[in-house]
Structure 1
Amino acid sequence: MKQALVVEDLAEVRDWLADIAQAVFPGIEVTAVGRVDEALAQAGSGAFDVALVDLGLPDGSGIDVVRTLHRQQPQCLAVVVTIYDDDEHLFPALQAGAFGYLLKDQPREALEAQLLRMASGEPPLSPPIARRVLAFFGQNAAALAPPLPSAQQPAVEEEEKVRLTEQETVVLQRVAKGYTLPEIAQQLGLSRHTIAEHVKHIYRKLDVSSRAEAALEAARRGLVK
């Protein structure tokens, strides 16, 4: 491993991932970017051995980065590193060519151990993801990706378009109550990086840009009084 690409828009998390890559692959040179367009530009101008790619980016999805790397640089092992453990993110990423899929809420030591397996050709998968993949194939599902909505299906209500996950709802409630990110992380037993990721996705889903706006949305949803 000589060249690594890290794609993550949160600067603190980006530095954390870059540090992990350098610890796992000693001597590797890391290029770190925070947007899809920057990652695509790097894919077109440089050659990478491994890429650590977040999915939720300001200008699009990290799946587009994975797909481009898989097509233009088949030697590059693209590993998704995200907070999403659902089928709607997992299987499209694998279809796009992801070599692995890791969850950020694991201890750093676990992430490093899973990435080290790449040296022997083993795809790095967080345990919950490995179980989900096995269960999927155990059910003999017809296709990897969830079916797209058809024209005959009823229109999705606006509230459903901005539906939060259970974890995001809990985080939003605590943000609205004035807790800091480190406090929320301690309360939920998660890392600060994971909470920052949840907040990023909450703000993006709700189209808000401040804690005050998030608190108003939490009140509208009945999460705080």
Structure 2
Amino acid sequence: MQKCLLVDDLPEGLSLMSALLAESFPELEQVTATSVREAMVQVGQHRFSLALIDLELGDGHGADLIAWLTERQSECVSIVGTIFDDDEYLLRALKAGAQGYILKDQPPELIGLQLRGIRDGQPPLSPAIARRLMRHFQQPMFFSDTESRLSGREREVLGLLAKGLRLVDIAQALEISRHTVGDHVKSIYRKLNISSRAEAALEAQRLGLIAL
């Protein structure tokens, strides 16, 4: 039986993608991992025809895992499954060898449709990612300031965070899961080099997202 490697460090994300994979590829045996280290162990024990890999993992970056996997099992089709839609993540993953990029905060039925496209040789790309790729090749992309490094969703999260909303309230307001909000917050803090809500509020004010 052919096998699929599924890598996600959050139980909610692992459960969602596992269910969608089972619907789209019922013939594949799923092998799961919650870290880069665990995934590497599984790659040493199994041959995979498909891999669905998150990017922000607790002990490393999914793009590095994709590059490592591609070197060892070139026949494996590696797909990114993540919430991050900015160019930094996208281009790093594609350069590492990813053959598709799926956003997990889409409706599940759309994710399933994109996964099933793999059977027909179609690279699974979320519409927002396809548009980013087109813009990237149509004109140069520059990241000269903080604002350009934040994705649209991250700007929304930052604005609400700076207003004092809890993660669960932000999740409800944006109609996404709490763990997705948490991932966005981690990415925002990293990109802005901050570590507190107070600093987030100052940055949000500087970017014109809120008025203080």
Question: TM-score category by the smaller chain?
Answer: 0.7 to 0.9
Find the residue that maps to 1:79 and give its secondary structure. Answer: strand
Q: Is the 8 A contact 2:158 2:204 kept in 1?
A: no
Residue 167 of structure 1: aligned partner: 153
The 2-side partners of 1:218 and 1:132 are apart by 26
1:8-62 deviation per Cα after TM superposition (whole angstroms, max 9, x unaligned): 1112111211111112111422222221122222222211121111111122210
Residue 33 of structure 2: aligned partner: 33
Find the residue that maps to 2:23 and give its secondary structure. Answer: helix
Residue 179 of structure 1: aligned partner: 166
Q: Kindly tell me: are residues 219 and 6 of structure 1, through their superposed partners in 2, closer, same or farther at Cα, counting changes over 3 Å?
A: same
Q: Is the 8 A contact 1:49 1:77 kept in 2?
A: yes
Residue 135 (structure 1) shift = 3.4
Query: How high is the sequence identity, in percent, across the aligned residues?
Result: 43
Q: Is the 8 A contact 2:6 2:18 kept in 1?
A: yes
Q: Kindly tell me: are residues 215 and 127 of structure 1, through their superposed partners in 2, closer, same or farther at Cα, counting changes over 3 Å?
A: same
Residue 90 (structure 1) shift = 1.4
Give structure 1 stretches of 5+ with no counterpart.
150-155
Structure 2 counterpart of 1:98, which letter?
Answer: A
Question: How many residues matched?
Answer: 204
The 1-side partners of 2:187 and 2:197 are apart by 15
Residue 204 (structure 1) shift = 5.7
Residue 189 of structure 1: aligned partner: 175
1:98-137 matches, within 5 Å, as: 98-137=98-137
1:160-203 deviation per Cα after TM superposition (whole angstroms, max 9, x unaligned): 6xx7555335424544624342x322312334453243134346
The 2-side partners of 1:83 and 1:222 are apart by 21
Give structure 2 stretches of 5+ with no counterpart.
none
The 2-side partners of 1:166 and 1:132 are apart by 12
Structure 1 counterpart of 2:197, which letter?
Answer: A
Residue 17 of structure 2: aligned partner: 17
Q: Is the 8 A contact 1:172 1:214 kept in 2?
A: no
Q: Is the 8 A contact 1:43 1:68 kept in 2?
A: no
TM-score, with structure 1 as normaliser:
0.75
TM-score, with structure 2 as normaliser:
0.79
